[in-house]
């Protein structure tokens, strides 16, 4: 999914071109029509508002695809970074980064 000028967008959250793809949009709308529980947006944090059955099923499919025990969808890049660094890094580990590191890290 490239723009007409064949550039890849690495500066927005649409670097895969999903937000500007009419094919992707139509597939999402078709899937949305099949849902019994039709909610727009997250409706709140999972901790306070509960989980979406649709998202839980999607996480299971992602885990199966990656041959993993579980999958987890984060609501933002910031939360994904917090989860990654909290779970992976251990006491005494060193992180090497430069001035181009994402602001959420």
Which residue would you say has higher pLDDT here, 71 or 10?
Answer: 71
User: Tokens representing 103?
Assistant: 């602001």
Contact of 32 with 24, CB cutoff 8 Å: no
What value does the CA radius of gyration of the chain take, rounded to a whole number of Å? 17
- Average pLDDT estimate for 51-62: 89
Displacement of CA 37 from its chain's centroid (Å): 20
* pTM: predicted TM-score of the whole model, two decimal places: 0.63
Measure the CA–CA gap between 28 and 51, rounded to whole angstroms: 20
- pLDDT band of residue 27 (cuts 50, 70, 90) is very high
**Which parts of the chain are beta strand (E)?**
none
What is the percentage of the chain residues whose pLDDT exceeds 90? 26
Residue of 76, 68, 67, 73 lying closest to 104 (CA atoms): 76
């Amino acid at each position: 999914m490239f723009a007409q000028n064949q550039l890849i967008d690495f500066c927005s959250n649409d670097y895969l071109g999903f937000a500007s793809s009419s094919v992707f949009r139509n597939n999402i709308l078709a899937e949305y029509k099949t849902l019994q529980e039709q909610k727009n947006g997250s409706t709140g944090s999972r901790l306070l508002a509960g989980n979406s059955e649709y998202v839980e099923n999607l996480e299971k499919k992602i885990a199966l695809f990656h041959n993993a025990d579980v999958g987890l969808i984060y609501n933002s890049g910031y939360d994904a970074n917090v989860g990654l660094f909290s779970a992976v890094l251990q006491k005494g580990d060193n992180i090497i980064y430069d001035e181009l590191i994402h602001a959420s890290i």
